[in-house]
A and B are shown apart, each in its own frame.
Chain A
Amino acid sequence: MSVIKTEGLTYVYGEGTPFCKTAVDNVDLEIEEGEFVGVIGHTGSGKSTLIQHFNGLLKPTSGKVYIDGEELWKDKSRLRDIRFKVGLVFQYPEYQLFEETVYKDIAFGPKNMGLSDEDTDKRIREAARMVGLKEEIFEKSPFELSGGQKRRVAIAGVMAMEPKVLILDEPASGLDPKGRDAILAQIREYHQEKKNTVMLVSHSMEDIAKHTTKILVMNKAKVFCYDTPVNVFHRAEELQQMGLSVPQITRVFNRLKAAGVPVNDDVYTVKYAKDLILSMLGKDNKKVER
């Protein structure tokens, strides 16, 4: 069963005013459990609006959203419970920290779920470990931490709720390359360990290519495609037309192919590219794997 399903989902901002704008237009989507979905799209393509529907922060102008088979907005009293199934980490989540200590801030979500102190404590430690926070900082104020650390605390705050679906809106933006890789690697580990569904909104094709199992491309409020990375990056030209790109390494290989070198055109990670080149040069005889 699909964990997220939408039927004809449409959302219009400022309906009935001269400024009205359709941000999400008639989206039908089914996301299977356990996928790691990358969401890409130009600024203003409706990504952020779309993901805010998945945990009921926005009410569709028309259409339906099903989470785990249950229709959102059908029974308003169930909304909060369903919201716990879908954890949403906003862009720059460190600006939502408010508690006196890191520990209490991470505890905010689980406490709202009504968990016992014991369970809460277990989840906090687990989430902190996932994002690579040391327990020494638990009693510190979140405001004295560095930017990257704050970001981790905020992400841990959502992870501690152990949602079935974890959605992250550009979790790595504004971080240095090292912090960026670290956070993305931790999210990937979380996905592999928990076998939960993860959605990652990002502008970096490299990050998307490296981590995801499926890619959702949004263009002008509509879903352009929802497919595996190989199939999506195969449509390089179309992506470029809508102002998106493909990973650099894919561009390199496309150019090589255009220049007449007999290479595969399904290359989108550097690791795979390296293995492929080595095997072509005859320096490495093992079977090339993605």
Chain B
Amino acid sequence: MLKDITIGQYFPGKSLVHRLDPRVKIILIVAFIVMLFIADSFFGLGVGMVFVLGAFLISGIPFKMMLKSLKPIMPLLIFTGLLNILFIRTGEVIWKWKFIVITELGVTTALFMVIRIVALIIGSSLLTYTTSPIQLTDAIERLFSPLKVIKVPVHELAMMMTIALRFIPTLIEETDKIMSAQKARGADLETGSVIQRAKALIPIFVPLIVSSFRRAEELALAMECRCYHGGEGRTRLKQLKTSFRDYAALAVTAVFIAGVVFADKIDFII
């Protein structure tokens, strides 16, 4: 059923990670990505991994959710790994068969890349697990607000995102209803050739689009009735506030970045 689709993967909770200011969380993610890319040794990557796994532990998100977030990128991981193994031909050869040459450098690079991507995905899914979509759009709006100077409609874009998120469940419900209604009139959605099936979608899409427009119009009217006039001078119900824990988190992250650089040095010396 359509209803089973979950949008966003927010996991409500009260952990330290959940309570961080969403703006800070986005900055931390950017810092984390930088951390991963300046690391050029397994030691450096190890420090990054410790950082993200530590954050995961603190967040209290079930461990299996982390594995779940990795599932969709499995093909990408395998592809990256294989490419690196098969096409890096420098370094000590450890296995050779006809035209396939596997070198030590190839294997280590492949492993390195895979770990880096895994860490990236774990980090960014931690952000979506611990931050509600609304908080995220709020934070994005605030972070990008300096762009207003060059006339980027930041508030409007954020409002569009919020509305889109708000209406996804509504539209799913509506689609479900229309599908049931057309099935009751004998619409056959499950059998037939591709073209027939595509045609069978017309009775679903036309009413859906019509009702989306109707909803949009009603929403616009309702917003106007409540004197909505864009972001200028608008106050918020939920103010974003940075507190001690946010600065602490920033400090910890800074230490870890330094740690990555340091770990790379150690690797170099060894």
Contacts and interface: CB of A to CB of B under 8 A. Distances in A.
B99 to A, nearest CB: 51
A143 B211 CA distance: 11
Interface string B168-185: 000000000110111111
B186 A95 contact: no
A80 B186 contact: yes
B183 A96 contact: no
Given A95-B178, A95-B211, A108 B184 contact: no
Contact of A90 (B184, B188, B203): B184
A46 interface: no
Nearest to A58: B180
Contacts of A109: 185-186
Contact of A112 (B3, B188, B202, B210): B188
A67 interface: no
A112 B181 CA distance: 13
Contacts of B182: 96, 108
B184 A97 contact: no
A157 interface: yes
A83 B180 contact: no
Contacts of B203: 96, 98, 108
Query: Which of the listed residues A55, A96, A98 has the most CB atoms from chain B within 10 Å of its own CB?
Result: A96
Contacts of A90: 177, 180-181, 184
B16 interface: no
A133 B261 CA distance: 79
Contacts of A80: 186, 188
B40 to A, nearest CB: 45
Contacts of B181: 88, 90, 93, 95-96
A57 to B, nearest CB: 5
Nearest to A76: B190
B185 A112 contact: yes
A232 B140 CA distance: 59
A87 interface: yes
B186 A84 contact: yes
A12 B207 CA distance: 29
A103 to B, nearest CB: 15
Interface in A100-156: 108-109, 112-113, 143
Nearest to B177: A90
Nearest to B214: A95
Interface string A55-78: 101000000000000000000000
Query: Which of the listed residues B177, B181, B188 has the most CB atoms from chain A within 10 Å of its own CB?
Result: B181
Contacts of B3: 14
B102 to A, nearest CB: 45
B176 to A, nearest CB: 10
Contacts of A112: 185-188
Contacts of A208: none
Contact of B186 (A96, A113, A143): A113
Contacts of A89: 184
Contacts of A14: 3
A161 B180 contact: no
B195 interface: no
Nearest to A57: B180
A204 interface: no
Interface of A: 14, 52, 55, 57, 80, 83-84, 87-90, 93, 95-98, 108-109, 112-113, 143, 157-158, 161
Q: Which 10 A-B pairs have the closest CB atoms?
A: A112-B186, A98-B206, A96-B181, A88-B184, A109-B185, A90-B181, A98-B203, A98-B207, A57-B180, A96-B207
Given A57-B180, A113-B186, 15 more contacts: A83-B183, A87-B184, A88-B181, A90-B180, A90-B181, A95-B177, A95-B211, A96-B207, A97-B207, A98-B210, A109-B185, A112-B188, A157-B185, A158-B184, A161-B186
28 contacts: A14-B3, A52-B180, A80-B186, A80-B188, A83-B183, A84-B186, A88-B181, A88-B184, A89-B184, A90-B177, A90-B181, A90-B184, A93-B181, A95-B177, A95-B210, A96-B207, A97-B207, A98-B202, A108-B185, A108-B187, A108-B203, A109-B186, A112-B185, A112-B186, A112-B187, A112-B188, A157-B185, A158-B185
